[in-house]
Amino acid sequence: MDIWSVCEPAPDRQGPNEDLVISGPDFVVVLDGATAPKGVESGCVHSVAWLVARLGTHLALPLLGRSQVPLPDLLAAAITEVRAEHEDTCDLANPDSPSSTVAMMRVSDEQVEHLVLADSPIVLRAPDRRVTVLADNRVDFLPEYTFEAVRRLRNQPGGFWVASTEPKAAYEAVSGTTERAAVELVALLTDGASRYSERYGHTWDDLVDTLATAGPQALIDLVRQHDEDAAVGAFRGKRRDDATAVLCRLRLPS
């Protein structure tokens, strides 16, 4: 498959980009680390960028080894591996331990597998241009958004799930398969890019069209312009964010 990707830090970011893209011959993984609010004691001596890099490593190794293990099992195993890397130094029971969203896709001759955990959606476009959005929107339906409430609802039933210290979160992801012949394009996005549709109201067809015709940088540039134009406080969440957009064009099976 052909893969076209941009992973760009927020214009006002200090410190490393907390988004990450990893791709191989038949897979793409997109991660978006959750930036910790200032002054929060996470119980972890590591950074969010560390968590994202370690998760990415433990997902990439089996994927590059052509593992046939289902994506939720791969993610659960990766979370377990990362846990083991810092259980001796960090308090992994702390609910503010670093965390990440996960969007993964893997292609075989027969099917396209997907996994989406938290707000990094995947969009499929069929050869007939029909668009399917694969999203985990639970974080949009929390009863309240105070710091305490979000902390209480993270990785809890009735709340929302992220990749952090809890392997069972992998089984809360939106996952499944689509017949390969029904997929021509796959877009993977972090919320810094998917907000083109989710926050700024463009259709998903428009988003995929922009990616396919103008490319990921053009999509992110359009989002940045919206971010600049938006009234302060008009939307929940960060005004500017790290942004990742990946477009995969599947070739006909050989």
- C-alpha 72 chain-centroid distance: 14
Which of 95, 101, 94, 86 lies closest to 45, judged by CA? Answer: 86
**How far apart, in whole angstroms, are the C-alpha atoms of residue 199 and residue 236?**
9
Is 83 near Zn ion (CB under 5 A)?
A: no
- Between the alpha carbon of residue 163 and those of residues 99, 111, 210, the distances in Å are 5, 25, 30
The single residue among 28, 52, 76, 90 that binds Zn ion, judged by CB under 5 A, is 90
Please, what is the minimum distance in Å from the beta carbon of residue 115 to Zn ion?
24
Is 246 near Zn ion (CB under 5 A)?
A: no
Side-chain-side CA neighbours of residue 40 (13 Å):
17
Spatial CB neighbours of 88, under 8 Å, sequence gap ≥ 6: none
Point out which span in 72-80, 88-96, 126-134, 230-238 binds Zn ion (CB under 5 A). Answer: 88-96
Kindly tell me which of 90 and 248 has the beta carbon lying closer to Zn ion.
Answer: 90
**How far apart, in whole angstroms, are the C-alpha atoms of residue 98 and residue 162?**
10
Is 82 near Zn ion (CB under 5 A)?
A: no
Kindly tell me which of 89 and 156 has the beta carbon lying closer to Zn ion.
Answer: 89
β pairing state of 174-179 and 111-117: antiparallel
Please, what is the minimum distance in Å from the beta carbon of residue 55 to Zn ion?
12
Kindly tell me which of 44 and 220 has the beta carbon lying closer to Zn ion.
Answer: 44
**How far apart, in whole angstroms, are the C-alpha atoms of residue 187 and residue 233?**
29
Please, what is the minimum distance in Å from the beta carbon of residue 118 to Zn ion?
20
Instruction: Annotate each residue in 38-77 with x if it binds Zn ion (CB under 5 A) or - if it does not, as one string.
Output: ------x-x-------------------------------
Is 86 near Zn ion (CB under 5 A)?
A: yes
Point out which span in 37-45, 108-116, 176-184, 210-218 binds Zn ion (CB under 5 A). Answer: 37-45
Chain positions contacting Zn ion, by CB under 5 A = 44, 46, 86, 90
